[in-house]
Amino acid sequence: MAFDPQAIRAEFPILDRQVNGKPLVYLDSAASAQKPRAVIQAISHAMEHSYANVHRGLHTLANETTEAYEGARNKVAAFIGAEPSEIVFTKGGTEAINLVAAGLGARLQTGDEIVLTQMEHHANIVPWHFLRERLGVVLKFVPVTDDGQLDLEAYQRLLGPKTRVVALSHMSNVLGTINPVTDMTRMAHEAGALVLLDGCQAIVHKPVDVKAIDADFYVFSGHKLYGPTGIGILYGKAEQLAGLPPYQGGGEMIGTVTEDAISYADPPHRFEAGTPPILEAIGLGAAIDWMSGLDREAIAEHEHRLYARVRDRLAGANWLKVLGEAPGKAAILSFTVEGAHAHDVAQILDRYGVAVRAGTHCAEPLMRRFGVTSSARASFALYNTEDEADAFVDALTRTQAFFA
């Protein structure tokens, strides 16, 4: 259907509520997006009408639930241009990255190099630090320029004969920078390295074709994509998944088990030990169905108009420092207010019903790069309106007055 911000907004029940006597202005979607009725109803329907554990059951409810669960895998695959066998369900983007890091770590050696960037979320830093601590691999970080872009010349210099993995964000959760991941993947492959992309932010705001990008692994979470929490996606090229050892042991991921030996299932089930996030996968499938019916280009234009409106109204505010002004960035505004801690800014904004994130945004290296200890972040989504953009600016101006 055609994109209509007001009609879309009406599909999110929570947006009707008030906070501190003010209409809710939810600008924290980069942390976790709200859920449309289509997702809420899909999960409720599954629980009320057709729930059982998946796969090995032979009764009607088990068969219906298995069909819905594996149907969600098919929807995810189609959404990003992959094959269903290349889609692993995890409990989130963080677990997906940990799964890959643990699997690749089984064949890395002391002195092998992993290239990251200064703008990574901790979820795409800490698992690689585990390998540094335990195996002695070397971590190298691509620097970020003053306007929030990656220094591609520095990136090229960091790639070398010892580079085994490049792991980077498709889109920064702090800066909104959209990185040239297709070119960066090609450069990494030319150096003989594997590539993992953290797509948790990008998947929400732009179409993703994993085959066109040619990344070896691509991860994202469901709760930012208007789906439920507790569900994440690992895409891996078939040959790459086949080469990874199991991440966890238990039911579903085995072929056979005896007292003397075990064999493992083929991907993707090799990496889905135990009872999987059944309802969450069904909910994510519903979110993808819902998203697929929208004009994503029109959504992106709408979000950018909101961001531009806010920036225009705040032009000349010498008390405001904005982090990241990369060309073509997504509609994320990370900022500091002179004389104020980000936590205080967020708490005062909440008095006006405006919800923003505050802190390091799980990106401490990036905070240090820009010389701040924390920032506030307003992230715009398809359900936000021009009136909400104005309400945010008005509330922020009043908030600044507390510290002037």
Nearest to 138 by CA among 163, 104, 118, 167: 163
Position 216, amino acid: D
Distance between CA atoms of 257 and 373, rounded to whole angstroms?
A: 51
Distance between CA atoms of 342 and 127, rounded to whole angstroms?
A: 28
**b/e sequence 282-313, b meaning 16+ C-beta within 10 Å:** bbbbbbbebbeeeeeeebbebbbebbebbeeb
Q: Which position has the token pair 């994130």?
A: 357
52 is written with which tokens? 């059982």
Catalytic residue (choose from 238, 265, 300, 362):
362
Helix H, strand E, coil C: the string for 25-91 is EECECCCCCCCCHHHHHHHHHHHHHCCCCCCCCCCHHHHHHHHHHHHHHHHHHHHHCCCHHHEEEEC
Q: What are phi and psi of 66, to 5 degrees?
A: -60, -40
Q: What are phi and psi of 366, to 5 degrees?
A: -70, -40
CA 384 to chain centre: 19
Residue 122 backbone zone (phi > 0: left; psi -120 to 50: alpha; other: beta): alpha
Distance between CA atoms of 192 and 210, rounded to whole angstroms?
A: 19
Is 362 known to be catalytic?
yes
399 is written with which tokens? 């908030």
Helix/strand/coil for 355: strand
Catalytic residues: 362
